[in-house]
Structure 1
Amino acid sequence: MQLIDTLKQKTMGLACKGFALIKSTIKKINLPKILAWALSHKKHIAVAIALIYGANYAINYFFPKSKSAAPTQLVTTAVVQKSSIPIIIEATGNIVAANIVDIRPQTTNVVSKIHIKEGQTVKAGDLLFTLDDRANKANYEKAKALADDATRQYKRSLELIEKKFISQAAADTSKANMQSAEASARAAQVALSFDHIRSPIAGRAGVINVFPGTLVQAGTNISTTSSATATSTTAAMVTITQLDPINVQFTVSEKEIPLILGQRDEADELSVTVDLGGTNAPVEGKVYVVDNQVDPSIGAVRVKAQVSNKDGAMIPGQFVRVKLKAKTLKDALVVPTQAVVTNINGNFMYVVQPGDTVDLKPIKVIYQYQGQTVVSGINENDKIVVEGKQNLRPGGKIKETKNAEKAKEQ
Structure 2
Amino acid sequence: MSKIESSLDQLVAKLGQLKNGSKTRLCALWQKASPRLGKLKQLDVPTTKAFILKFKWRILLVIIVLYAASKAYDYFFPAPDKAGGPVTVTTVIVEKKDVPLIIEATGTIVSNSIVDIRPMVSNTVAKINVKDGQEVKAGDLLFTLDDRNDKANYEKLKALADDAQKQYLRAKELVAKNFISKAGLETSLANAKSAQAAAKAAEVQLSFDYIRSPIDGRAGIVNVFPGSLVQASNVVTTATSSTATSSVGSMVTITQLNPINVQFVIPEKDIPTLLENQLDGEPLKVKVTVGDSSKKVYEGTVLVVDNQVDPSIAAVRVKAQIPNDSMTLLPGQFARVSLVASDLKDALSVPSQAVVINPRGKFVFTLDKEGKASLVPVKVVYDYQGSSVITGIQAGDKVVVEGKQNLRPGGKTREAKSSEKPGAKPESTPSAPSAPAQPAASATPPATPSTTDKK
Question: What TM-score, normalized by structure 2, do the two folds share?
Answer: 0.75
After superposition, the C-alpha distances for 1:32-64 in whole angstroms (9 at most, x for unaligned) are x997xx9xxxxxxxxxxxxxxxxxx9xx99xx9
AA matched with 1:362: P
After superposition, the C-alpha distances for 1:289-308 in whole angstroms (9 at most, x for unaligned) are 11111212222211111111
Give how far 1:328 is off. 1.5
What does 1:285-364 correspond to in 2, within 5 Å?
285-364=300-379
What does 1:49-198 correspond to in 2, within 5 Å?
67-69=78-80, 70-71=83-84, 72-198=86-212
Paired position in structure 2 for 1:408: 427
SS class of match (2:121): coil
SS class of match (2:407): coil
Paired position in structure 2 for 1:50: none
SS class of match (2:337): strand
CA distance in 2, matches of 1:166, 1:12: 152
- Aligned match of 1:370 in 364, 385, 392? 385
Between stretches 209-218 and 227-236, larger displacement belongs to: 227-236
Does residue 249 of structure 2 align to residue 253 of structure 1? no
CA distance in 2, matches of 1:160, 1:125: 46
Give how far 1:339 is off. 0.8
SS class of match (1:191): helix
Tell me if the contact between 1:77 and 1:404 (Cα under 8 Å) persists in the aligned partners: no
SS class of match (1:248): strand
Tell me if the contact between 1:84 and 1:330 (Cα under 8 Å) persists in the aligned partners: yes
Give how far 1:107 is off. 0.5
After superposition, the C-alpha distances for 1:250-272 in whole angstroms (9 at most, x for unaligned) are 11111222222225785853111
SS class of match (2:175): helix
Q: Which runs of 5+ in 2 are unaligned?
A: 1-17, 48-65, 430-455
After superposition, the C-alpha distances for 1:7-29 in whole angstroms (9 at most, x for unaligned) are 998289849x979x98xxx9xxx
Tell me if the contact between 1:76 and 1:404 (Cα under 8 Å) persists in the aligned partners: no
CA distance in 1, matches of 2:290, 2:412: 50
Tell me if the contact between 1:269 and 1:327 (Cα under 8 Å) persists in the aligned partners: no
Name the CA shift for 1:352/1:291 in 2 (closer, same or farther; >3 Å).
same
Give how far 1:333 is off. 0.9
Tell me if the contact between 1:99 and 1:242 (Cα under 8 Å) persists in the aligned partners: yes
Give how far 1:322 is off. 1.4
Tell me if the contact between 1:104 and 1:236 (Cα under 8 Å) persists in the aligned partners: yes
SS class of match (1:399): strand
- Aligned match of 1:380 in 395, 401, 404? 395
Paired position in structure 2 for 1:202: 216
Between stretches 393-402 and 154-163, larger displacement belongs to: 393-402
Give how far 1:389 is off. 1.2
CA distance in 2, matches of 1:75, 1:315: 50
Give how far 1:88 is off. 1.4
CA distance in 2, matches of 1:402, 1:309: 46
Between stretches 168-177 and 355-364, larger displacement belongs to: 355-364
Give how far 1:404 is off. 8.3
SS class of match (1:147): helix
Give how far 1:75 is off. 1.3
Give how far 1:346 is off. 2.1
Name the CA shift for 1:12/1:122 in 2 (closer, same or farther; >3 Å).
farther
Name the CA shift for 1:199/1:7 in 2 (closer, same or farther; >3 Å).
farther
Does residue 419 of structure 2 align to residue 399 of structure 1? no
CA distance in 2, matches of 1:364, 1:114: 67
SS class of match (1:105): coil
Q: Which runs of 5+ in 1 are unaligned?
A: 27-32, 39-56
Does residue 286 of structure 2 align to residue 272 of structure 1? yes
Name the CA shift for 1:238/1:402 in 2 (closer, same or farther; >3 Å).
closer
Question: What TM-score, normalized by structure 1, do the two folds share?
Answer: 0.83
Give how far 1:234 is off. 2.5
Name the CA shift for 1:108/1:352 in 2 (closer, same or farther; >3 Å).
same
AA matched with 1:218: A
Give how far 1:393 is off. 2.5
CA distance in 2, matches of 1:265, 1:141: 58
CA distance in 2, matches of 1:341, 1:8: 50
AA matched with 2:151: K
AA matched with 2:120: Q
Name the CA shift for 1:327/1:68 in 2 (closer, same or farther; >3 Å).
same
Cα RMSD, aligned residues only: 3.1
CA distance in 2, matches of 1:391, 1:403: 17
Between stretches 326-335 and 240-249, larger displacement belongs to: 326-335
CA distance in 2, matches of 1:132, 1:163: 49
Name the CA shift for 1:214/1:264 in 2 (closer, same or farther; >3 Å).
closer
Tell me if the contact between 1:366 and 1:373 (Cα under 8 Å) persists in the aligned partners: yes
CA distance in 2, matches of 1:286, 1:210: 38
The percent of aligned pairs where both chains have the same amino acid is: 53
SS class of match (1:326): strand
Paired position in structure 1 for 2:26: 10
SS class of match (1:285): strand
CA distance in 2, matches of 1:76, 1:307: 42
Give how far 1:401 is off. 2.2
